[in-house]
Structure 1
């Protein structure tokens, strides 16, 4: 069986042909200069990927970075400073979980809920929040807000001696259980 020629041009290959003829993309009128490397192709002996694609990066099948997902500080800042919003929320959640483990469960969980609400507020007010941006801005705010508010309210209503009592919830519980 003959060995495959790794230097031969394939359909969609961004390298110029050896004979100097124009590429098919140039003949069809596509703009030149945008080459996106195919991340799954193995490199040849010279380190170049065997396959490249001419797809415009905006239309790739890859997951796009969410809006606001850029660094929260300039690129020359140290790594913790660039990601301070997500580190702040994570640190507060960690302290809340530590308090919960040390038998101060109500206030630990209130701190966890408050940290998620802080994450929602940061996502709403700041144009760039780094890795705190996971999805679209609306989805992140709704997710952080609903989870944070739910955790905080449930922690305040936990037995024994609830700090917050909502009368219709007690009636709803009795209605569903009995």
Structure 2
């Protein structure tokens, strides 16, 4: 009888699946046990908000005012895309690059930037800054009649095409 009940218990555990059998229990804030996922038990415990990820304006302000940094960057990017659509490619892409660099400056100087904060302050600044500078430099190197000429890039282009 003991063997049969043990085998029945094991088959019932397998019917529930591995998540039910291997779920980790923890105590919630109310003192009751809670079931948690074992998806990444060793590495991920909780997700923290990025530094500066709070509201950029007070909570009683309307939603657009609370997120003004990301709206400013997105508005400039939209303006750049609009200029690009109207055959001002170089100017439009330069506006996009400047918008990303402005996002990097805002991320560096402002204590709270709302949804402009994606990762840590350093990572956001480097990402926005590097992408902004790269887009700006590429926009100034657009053919014909580039505003900026970098000789080793011309040599690299001729080497890859030849």
Task: Name the structure 1 match of 2:96.
Answer: 112
Three-state SS of the structure 2 residue aligned to 1:52 is: strand
Which ranges of structure 2 fall in alignment gaps of 5 or more residues? 1-24, 37-42
Tell me the residue number matched to 1:151.
135
**Could you tell me which residue of structure 1 aligns to residue 69 of structure 2?**
85
Give the aligned CA root-mean-square deviation in angstroms: 2.4
Of residues 81, 91, 96, the one that matches 1:97 is 81
Greater percentage in helix = 2
Structure 1: runs of 5 or more not aligned: 1-10, 15-33, 37-49
When the two structures are aligned, how many residues end up with a matched partner?
132
Q: Distance in 2 between matches of 1:176 and 1:161?
A: 21
Aligned 8 A contact 1:86 1:132 in 2: yes
What residue in structure 2 maps to residue 172 of structure 1? 156
Given the superposition, is the C-alpha separation of residues 81 and 113 from structure 1 closer, same or farther in structure 2, using an over 3 Å criterion? Answer: same
Quick check: 1:86–1:130 contact (8 Å CA) kept in 2? yes
| Alpha-carbon shift at residue 101 of structure 1 (Å) | 0.8
Q: Contact 1:35/1:52 (CA < 8 Å) preserved in 2?
A: no
Cα shift at 1:166: 1.4
Shift of 1:35: 4.6
Alignment partners' CA distance in 1, 2:30 and 2:45 = 15
TM-score (norm 1): 0.67
Give every structure 1 segment of 4 or more consecutive aligned residues whose post-TM-superposition deviation is greater than 6 Å.
none
TM-score normalised over the length of structure 2: 0.73
Q: Distance in 1 between matches of 2:118 and 2:140?
A: 28
1:72 is aligned to 2:56: yes
